[in-house]
Amino acid sequence: MKRYFPSEIEPKWQKKWQENGLYKFDESSKTPKYYNLVELPYPSGDLHMGHWFAFAPADAHARYKRMNGFNVFFPNGFDAFGLPAENAAIKRGIHPKDWTLKNIEAMAKQFATMGTMIDWAHEVITCLPEYYRWNQWIFLKMFEKGVAYRGKALSNWCPIDQTVLANEHIENGKCWRCGAEVIQKEVEQWFLKITQYADDLIWPESPKVDWPKQVREGQNNWIGKSEGMLLKFGEIEVFTTRPETTDGATFMVVAPEHPFAQAIKDREVRDYIEKAQKKTEMERKEDRTKSGVFTGKYVKNPVTGKDIPVWVADYVLAGYGTGAIMAVPYADERDKQFAEKFNLPIVKTTFKTKPAGKKTVNYHLRDWSISRQRYWGTPVPIVHCEKCGLVPVPYQDLPVELPYNVDYTPKGKPPLATDEEWLNVKCPKCGGRAKRDAETLDTFFDSAWYYYRYVSPQFENGPFDGGKVKQLMPIDVYFGGAEHTLGHTLYARFFTKFFKDLGLVSFDEFASKRVQHGVILGPDGNRMSKSKGNVVNPDEVVTEYGADAVRLYLCFMMPYEATAPWSTSAISGIYRFLKRVWELQSKIKNQKSKIKNELSPMDITQMHKTIKKVGEDLNTFQFNTAVAALMTWLNYLSARDSIDREEYATLLRLLAPFAPFITEELYQLTEQSDKSIHLENWPSYQAKYLIEEMVSIVVQVDGKLRDTIQIQNSEIKVKNAVEELAKVSPKASKYIENQEIKRVIYVEGKLINFVIG
Ligand SMILES: [Zn+2]
Ligand SMILES: [Zn+2]
């Protein structure tokens, strides 16, 4: 028997799979399709552990589906425009395009290392004209329908990146890209009228598609639909969801930006307004009851007829409702705190008030600010003509290509505006002198529809081939990060609804299922970052343990949606597991003869239980428990003197989605076949063989309870097996890592204690 050297077998199979097109998607297949998708990565130049965690378990799922007879479509691409590329390029003095394309090349190689079944023939790179031309096409359709429009608005402005930011891209008042404090600035820009689709985007109580509850609730809260009334208090109009409390309204609060506040000349009020405008929206919301100033003015409560004072406070936002609220301290806790702080009256409300007003609906959702004053993005396909105004670039003239030689360092004015040759054009309508729009589209525009392009990346007559979309969409499962709840996935749903209105698609939701993963932290429990020196580089780990070990580890280390630190001891445990799978081949008794060993009922039960467990868990994204079941079975098999060839082949097939290289190698060795294991069917189990008990064993380190593991009854006699499983248990492993284990005490079927101290 040869020894297990991942560095020998993995590159060999990468090459072979590529040569024989093992993962090429078969468009003519008649078997049911399965569109397996992971959010497309930024071409940062380095495939980091987060990418591995996003892709490796998703790949295991895709492989499982394929072994179950599905025609799996698993494309990938690169979200190649945007600020990270541009800023990095500025820092390094390389053109963003060259930098980006070089990174894509490097990352494609790293993806090959991972051994995914991604079909790169459908790759989409969003910074290339053949893609962004269709961004422009979609933008023009939106412009025609009034969904894209130009307007002036007080906007979130990042002073470092010198651009407008959407609300969705601000985290705790800071720019999500660079971390700078976001300020408010009046900017003329392009918007997409996502608010027109607000009602369509609200999730119903029980939707037809399977999306996590926290995503649906998060989006619904963000859309923030509330039904209420518009009431007039003198010259000030307010929106209220509780008109029946109007008789308890004892004062009024307006936003600092409200015209009523702006008209006040009082020095104290002016100072307050000036300060408030320097705060971020988040700070203002958090500030709620802390600050405010009396305007010296009064308005009439329409129900009681009494004059009530008007205050300015920055917790009221100009964008919500009318930018003014009636305060009812008797019925509202926050109004009460404000009233108490500033000694304002609290009056009982009868809750029977019926004021005269207009019924209306209000939303928290704002239109999506879509243009950026930066270089590395899709040019807006509009021409500004002094005579005709905004004129769309004719469809046949698309794409409006992004010029290469532009000084793209930020100056507070769009870099494209400095390129006179590119900028000055003839008006397509009147032929007079005109200028191109110099702004570029937010990259979230690119990523709002890229998965449509995957189905027909070379299609020339539109953004996508409707027939192929009909065949392959909606997406069956869409893997991605929880950070995209309010941005990307909401935009993607919005685009789909717009496409439906255009008659381009027939479904309402682009993905039937959404699965969100957690985050892998550095070994010290902090987010991996270069400055903290806690980054685990996948390339280095692959060199040491092999890609199979990294994939298997990522599936095993924690539930897919959880967040946990990287553990070096656990990955070496995973490597040992693979080595034991390798060495187990020496125990196959009937390697050549194909005569079956006599298997005991217990042997059969173990096999069938494992088939069932691993399959169900892979189907429901419970990767960690699937791997645990494989470990349990391996321990069982290892404890025997000999195993049956069928058992070994089954073990390999169950392991194949997680560890595609070692299983391919072993399968061909032991089955003496040229057929790829990845073309085999998933093994099936029979219910009659399944009955067996599980036993819980307590894992202690120095007598302290650290975890509880589940072991099959048949296994509890094998101390080594229990010990191995306990050592890599997610909760206990960190206490054992890098420690010298002095003694292991095992109380059969009950408890295992590692003595260290
Ligand atoms: Zn920034
Ligand atoms: Zn004109």
SS (H, E, C) 95-159: CHHHHHHHHHHHHHHHHHHHCCCCCHHHCCECCCHHHHHHHHHHHHHHHHCCCEEEEEEEEEEEC
Sheet strand arrangement including 514-517: 71-73, 33-38, 477-481, 514-517
Tokens encoding 281? 């929206």
Q: Cα dist. 74→20, 35, 196, 214, 314 in Å?
A: 17, 6, 33, 26, 49
Determine the straight-line distance between the first and last CA of the chain, rounded to whole angstroms.
40
| Ligand lying nearest the CA atom of residue 425 | 2
Determine the distance separating the centroid of ligand 2 and the alpha carbon of 388, expressed in angstroms.
4
For residue 310, report the phi and psi dihedrals to the nearest 5 degrees: -105, 125
Question: Ligand 1 centre and the CA of 411: distance in Å?
Answer: 14
Task: Walk across the sheet containing 236-240 and list its strands.
Answer: 236-240, 226-233, 358-362
How many CB atoms lie under 10 A from the CB of residue 464? 23
Residues lower than pLDDT 70 in the chain = 168, 280-282, 286-289, 410-412, 591-597, 692-693
Check if the beta carbon of residue 699 is closer than 8 Å to that of residue 706: yes
> 252 has which bridge partners?
310, 326
- Closest ligand to Cα 183: 1
Q: For 42, left (φ over 0), alpha (ψ -120 to 50), or beta? A: beta
Query: From the CA of 177, how far away is ligand 1's center (Å)?
Result: 5
Residue 89 φ then ψ, to 5°:
-65, -40
Q: Which two tokens stand for residue 671?
A: 């089955």
Ligand with smallest separation from the Cα of 156: 1
- Contact assessment for residue 550 and residue 529, using Cβ atoms and an 8 Å cutoff: no
- Tokens 């969904």 -> residue: 147
- Taking the centre of ligand 1 as the mean of its atom positions, its distance from the CA of residue 236, in whole angstroms, is 36
Q: DSSP state, 432? A: S
Return the residue matching tokens 């780990």.
Answer: 541
Distance 90 CA to ligand 1 centre (A): 14
What CA–CA distance (Å, rounded) separates 159 from 411?
10
Tell me what pLDDT residue 95 has.
93
pLDDT in tens, 357-390: 899 998 989 899 898 888 999 999 999 999 999 9
The ligand whose atoms approach the alpha carbon of 383 most closely is 2
HEC string of 496-564 equals: HHHHHHHCCCCCCCCECEEEEECCEECCCCCECCHHHCCCCCHHHHHHHHCHHHHHHHHHHCCCCCCCE
Residue 169 confidence (pLDDT): 75
Strands 174-175 and 183-192: unpaired
Question: Closest by alpha carbon to 253, among 203, 308, 204, 201?
Answer: 308
In the block, residue with structure tokens 């989605």 = 657
Query: What is the rounded CA–CA span in Å between residue 417 and residue 432?
Result: 19
Q: Which residues surround ligand 2, an ion (CB under 5 A)?
A: 385, 387-388, 427, 429-430, 432
CA atoms within 13 A on the CB side of 450: 29
pLDDT score of 714:
72
Residue type, 252: M
**Cα torsion 208, 212, 215, 216: sign:** positive
Ligand lying nearest the CA atom of residue 434: 2
CB neighbours (10 Å) of residue 255?
25
For residue 111 the two structure tokens come to 């993806």
DSSP type of residue 63: H
CB 288 within 8 A of CB 264: no
Query: What's the CA gap between 294 and 481, in Å, rounded?
Result: 45
* Sequence-separated (6 or more) residues with CB below 8 Å from residue 275: none
**What is residue 597's predicted lDDT score, i.e. its pLDDT?**
56
Q: How far apart are CA 553 and CA 557, in angstroms?
A: 6
Please list the residues that pair with 149 across neighbouring strands.
191
Residue type, 272: Y
Residue 382 CA to ligand 2 centre (angstroms): 12
Q: What is the 446 CA–ligand 2 centroid distance (Å)?
A: 29
- Backbone φ and ψ for 212, nearest 5 degrees, come out as -60, 145
Q: How far is the CA of 714 from the centre of ligand 1 (A)?
A: 58
Contact 611, 685 (CB under 8 A): yes
Q: Say how far apart CA 672 and CA 708 lie, in whole Å.
A: 41
> What is the C-alpha to C-alpha distance for residues 652 and 664, in angstroms, rounded to an integer?
8
Q: List the shell of residues around ion ligand 1, using CB closer than 5 Å.
A: 158, 160-161, 175, 177-178, 180
Identify the CA nearest to 84 among candidates 45, 111, 40: 45
pTM of the full structure = 0.83
Q: Collect all residues with Cβ–Cβ distance below 8 Å to 503 and sequence separation of at least 6.
A: none
Q: Of the bound ligands, which one is closest to the alpha carbon of residue 175? A: 1
Distance (angstroms) between ligand 1 centre and the Cα of 292 equals 30
Report helix, strand or coil for 696.
strand
Taking the alpha carbons of 525, 526, 529, 531 in that order, is the dihedral positive or negative? negative
Residues 6+ apart with CB under 8 A from 86: 96, 374, 375, 376, 408
| pLDDT given at position 743 | 93
Whether 79 contacts 443, CB under 8 Å: yes
d(CA 120, CA 37): 13
pLDDT, residue 359, reads: 92
Cα 498 to chain centroid, rounded: 22
* CA of 39 relative to ligand 1 center, distance in Å: 22
Number of Cβ within 10 Å of residue 628's Cβ equals 22
> Per the omega criterion (within 30 degrees of 0), is the bond before 559 cis?
no
Contact 107, 41 (CB under 8 A): yes
Classify 579 as helix, strand or coil: helix
CA–centroid distance, 323 to ligand 2, in Å, is 38
